[in-house]
Each structure stands twice: as structure tokens, then as C-alpha cells.
Amino acid sequence: MKMSVRSLLLPNIKLICAPPISDERGYFAETYQYFHFAAAGINHEFIQDNQSGSSRKGTVRGLHFQAPPCAQTKLIRVLRGRIFDVVVDLRRSAATFGKHLTIELAEGSGHQLLVPIGFAHGFCTLEDDTEVLYKVVLRILPRMSGE
């Protein structure tokens, strides 16, 4: 896998590119491999996948933010269509509190966006029939004794 990782303007927001390999049959892409991500300093253990489908261009989803104990790190990629993605830093103690960044993500580009805990995330679809996949790390509190 020839994965590249690029830091964006807000701390800990990463653009990950795992370009697809194409041939006459179509394409193949290895979008997540724990050891490649760990080698790039992304040490999250993703435990859940979510997928959304939007039938109409201009559909807005977000801005979503999960507070502890349900805080989430997300790895977002577009399976079909294109999105205008927005991330906002909501970490009150951060120098970048309240700042945002935008990026376009599209199917077939190999681009994925890593949005860590502490950031709100949302997007607007730029094409009809857009599908988005999110890998999620949930911050779960340990069980209390006696449960």
C-alpha cells in the first residue's frame, strides 16, 4: 500500500491518501491497514463503521460533535459522489479553538480525512447519490465494578 499522510491546517487533522490501483476490471484500494497507519503515527483502533447515503446534491449532514464519554475520532471517505467537508476545532484549551477548515473529498481519489476527538464534523453533498463511510473510534468508559 502506497499510503501518504499530510497534516492540514488544524492540529491532528490528517489527509490520508491510499490511491486505488486500476485495471480493465475496475480498481482495488486498501483503505485501512492498522500497521501502515501506526507507522504514520495514527494509533487509533477503529471499532465501528458507519455509512450514510444522500440521494440529493446539497444535502447537509452535521456539524456533529460527540462529547465525552461518547467522543469519537472519525476516518471519513467518499464511496460515491463528492462532498464539501467541514471540520471545526471545539477544544476550548486549543490555540485553534473556533477555527475551521474545509476540503473536498471525492470517490476514487483515495483521500480520507482523519478527524480526532474534540472537533465537530459535517459535510454538504456536491452530487446526487453520494455515499460516505466513517470508521469510528469510540472513547468508552470502563465498566464499573458490580455491573
pLDDT of residue 1: 58
Q: How far is CA 39 from CA 3, 34, 36, 43, 47, in A?
A: 10, 9, 5, 8, 19
Please report the domains of the chain, with CATH numbers, ordered by start residue: 4-138 (2.60.120.10)
Give the predicted TM-score (pTM) of the model: 0.88
pLDDT of 146 > 60? The answer is: no
Question: pLDDT tens-digit profile of 117-127?
Answer: 999 999 999 99
pLDDT of residue 123: 98
pLDDT of 143 > 90? The answer is: no
pLDDT of residue 118: 95
Question: pLDDT tens-digit profile of 63-81?
Answer: 999 988 888 999 999 999 9
User: Is 44 known to be catalytic?
Assistant: no
Tell me the C-alpha distance between 127 and 72, whole Å: 27
Question: pLDDT tens-digit profile of 14-67?
Answer: 999 988 889 999 989 899 988 889 888 888 888 899 999 999 999 999 899 998
User: Is 134 known to be catalytic?
Assistant: yes
Tell me the C-alpha distance between 91 and 36, whole Å: 28
pLDDT of residue 67: 87
Catalytic member of 32, 111, 121, 134: 134
Q: What percent of the chain has pLDDT over 70?
A: 93
Catalytic member of 32, 64, 111, 121: 64
